[in-house]
Amino acid sequence: MRHDPIPAAGCDLAGTLRKQGYCIVRNALPAAEVDALDRVLAPVFDATPFCEGGFYGERTKRFGRLLARAGDAERFVRHPEILAAAQEILSPWCDTIQLNLAQAIALHPDALAQLPHRDQDMWRGTVGEVEYLVNVMWPFTDYRADNGATVIWPGSHGPNALAKEPPHRPVVAEMDPGDALVFLGSTLHGAGGNVSGRVRRGMVVSYCLGWLKPYENQWLAYPPAIARGFSRELAQLVGYQQHRPNLGNYEGRCPSVLLEAPVTEHLAAIDALRPDQAAMVADYVAEQRRTP
C-alpha cells in the first residue's frame, strides 16, 4: 500500500484521511510565518519546565493557550482547507466542531519515544464507528527520524482501531516548517525518540466533536476578556457558541452573549434545537393549543 503526501491546494484531504488515516500536506503555510510564530513563542519555551510522567515525556516541554500567547496562531488554527476537512470528517456525529487544543511541544535531545496511542482513547466512547478528533501537527523545526518526528501507523484508523495489530508498518512523518501532518484521532501514532543533538519544536492543533469535553478547557484558556479580541469565527471555535440542542449555554443563551458589552444581568432562555427537534416541539405545542 502506498502512502503519499499531497499538496495543500486542490486536494481531497478528507478523502485521504478516510483512506489511510493521515496525510502530510506540503507547504500548507509559508515557512516564514512558521518561523515568526516560533520566535514569538521562544521565551515561553525557555520558561516552561520539563514535563513529568512517562507519557508527556521528561525531556519534553509542553504549553497551551497559544491563541492568547500569539495572535498569529489563528492562521494555523483556522487554516481553511484543514478546518474544512476536519468539519467534513466530524460533521456526521455533531452539530458543530470545537477546538480541542492548541499546544506547543519541544522534544529535547535524549527524549524517549512516546507510547504509541490513539488520541480518541481519552474519551470512553464507541471505537471503530465514530471519529471523535482530527489532529494537525505543525513543525517549527525540521522533523526527522533522528530528532523525534511523529511515527504513524497507516491504516490503523476507523474499524482497524479494534484490531490487535495495525495492518501496516509505521512510517516516520518527516516534515519541514510549513508542512502539516493531519491525522485522525483513531490513528495509532506517537512521538519518536530524539537521538540527535537538536531540539524538535512544533505545535499540535486538534478539533473534536462539539459535544465532547475538550482536552484543553477552552473557557479557562480563553475567558471572555480574552475572547472579546477574537474574530467571531475563532470565538465560536473555542466554545462561544451553543451545540444544538442547548449544550454549552449560558443562562439558556449562546455563550457569545458574554462577549458583548455590557453583559446583561438577566436573560431569557431561548431554545437552540436541531431542525428535527424544533419541528417536533412545534407540532406538540400546536396540538395542545388546538385542544379545547
Q: What is the pLDDT of residue 63?
A: 98
Which pLDDT score is estimated for 74?
A: 97
Q: Are 138 and 204 in contact (CB under 8 A)?
A: yes
The residue-averaged pLDDT of 39-46 equals 98
**Stretch 55-79: mean pLDDT, rounded?**
97
pLDDT for position 67: 98
Mean pLDDT, range 42-48, rounded to an integer: 98
The predicted model gives 197-203 an average pLDDT of 98
Rounded average pLDDT over 63-80: 97
* Tens digit of each residue's pLDDT (9 = 90 or more) over 88-137: 999 999 999 999 999 999 999 999 999 999 999 999 999 999 999 999 99
What SS3 class is residue 22?
A: strand
The answer, yes or no, to whether residue 200 has pLDDT greater than 80, is yes
Q: Is the pLDDT of residue 1 over 90?
A: no
Q: Please give the DSSP secondary-structure letter assigned to residue 255.
A: G
- pLDDT of 263 reads 82
Residue 264 is predicted with a pLDDT of 82
pLDDT of residue 191: 98
Mean predicted lDDT score pLDDT of the chain: 94
Find all residues with CB under 8 Å of 147, minimum gap 6, and list them: 107, 141, 192, 194, 195, 196, 198, 199, 200
**Nearest-angstrom CA–CA distance, 65 and 209:** 20
Choose among 75, 70, 103: nearest CA to 218. 103
Q: Considering only CA atoms, give the Rg of the chain.
A: 21
pLDDT in tens, 223-269: 999 999 999 999 999 999 999 999 999 999 999 999 987 888 899 99
How would residue 291 be classed by pLDDT, with cut points 50, 70 and 90? confident
Amino acid 11: pLDDT = 66
Which residue is associated with the grid cell 477574537?
A: 230
pLDDT of 75 over the 50 cut: yes
Residue 277 and residue 193: Cα distance in Å, rounded? 50
> Buried b vs exposed e over 203-240: b needs ≥16 C-beta within 10 Å?
bbbbbbbbbbebbbebbebbebeebeebeeebbbbbbb
- Please give the Cα distance from 275 to 162 (Å, whole number): 34
Report pLDDT for 167: 93
